[in-house]
């Protein structure tokens, strides 16, 4: 069975709804093609509906284009809530931070956080930071945003590990690779230093790629 599957949401959403009855839940509106094209090449967007797997981790299945556009739309909705001063968390699958400008990979078809960041820029936000604390480096987010004026991408991730990137910091990217099985105190110190870098950037908006695969019981 593939680790990327609908059960990751089908079980999580009811659990959170039971634990937090005070939360307001919204269904996302799909991101537009225009939004996607700010982050991705047209070739990738046109590839989504074609019934061929992207790689061993990133299969094609019926409706994946619609699911990917809804996930990106969920990120955009969370961004707009944040700009309005409202706390927001987007619980979406598929994820996004491995999707580069021209390639779907690592369970990721569309780079949700990059789509949201570039939509924020198009809406007039000047300085935008992305904090990524997934267990893996967000190579796709770095690929899309690196070198763009007014963006800071900060990633804390395990190295060595998939996808084998994220060892250097350059052109608006700050990477914090940590070795496998690092003590939690050391990991939290790295997290604090990475956050201090974001605060020092003085962004108008912070978007978070919240990956929970650093959890000790995560099977991968």
Among candidates 93, 96, 112, 116, which has minimal Cα distance to 104?
A: 96
Q: Which of 67, 98, 137, 157 is catalytic?
A: 98
Average pLDDT over residues 159-180: 96
Q: What is the pLDDT of residue 201?
A: 98
For residue range 185-195, what is the model confidence (pLDDT) as tens digits?
A: 999 999 999 99
The reply to whether 67 belongs to the active site is no
Q: What is the pLDDT of residue 1?
A: 63
**DSSP state string for 103-164:** --BTTBSS-HHHHHHHHHHHTT---EEEEE--SS--HHHHHHHTT-TTEEEEEEEESS-TTS
Quickly state the pLDDT bin for 96 (edges 50, 70, 90). very high
Q: Cα 26 to chain center, whole Å? A: 19
For residue range 5-33, what is the model confidence (pLDDT) as tens digits?
A: 777 788 889 999 999 999 999 999 999 99
Q: What is the pTM of this model?
A: 0.96
């Amino acid at each position: 069975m593939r680790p990327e599957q609908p059960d990751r949401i089908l079980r999580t959403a009811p659990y959170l709804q039971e634990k937090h009855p005070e939360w307001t839940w919204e269904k996302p509106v799909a991101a537009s093609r225009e939004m996607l094209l700010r982050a991705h090449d047209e070739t990738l967007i046109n590839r989504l509906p074609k019934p061929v797997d992207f790689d061993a981790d990133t299969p094609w299945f019926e409706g994946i284009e619609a699911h990917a556009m809804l996930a990106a739309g969920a990120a955009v909705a969370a961004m707009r809530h944040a700009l309005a001063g409202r706390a927001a968390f987007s619980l979406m699958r598929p994820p996004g931070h491995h999707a580069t400008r021209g390639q779907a990979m690592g369970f990721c078809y569309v780079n949700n956080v990059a789509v949201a960041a570039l939509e924020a820029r198009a809406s007039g936000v000047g300085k935008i930071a992305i904090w990524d604390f997934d267990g893996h480096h967000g190579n796709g987010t770095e690929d899309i945003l690196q070198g763009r004026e007014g963006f800071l991408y900060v990633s804390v991730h395990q190295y060595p590990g998939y996808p084998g990137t994220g060892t250097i910091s350059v052109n608006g990217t700050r990477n914090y690779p940590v070795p496998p099985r690092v003590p939690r105190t050391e990991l939290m110190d790295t997290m604090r230093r990475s956050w201090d870098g974001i605060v020092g950037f003085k962004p108008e908006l912070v978007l978070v790629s919240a990956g929970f695969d650093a959890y000790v019981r995560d099977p991968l």
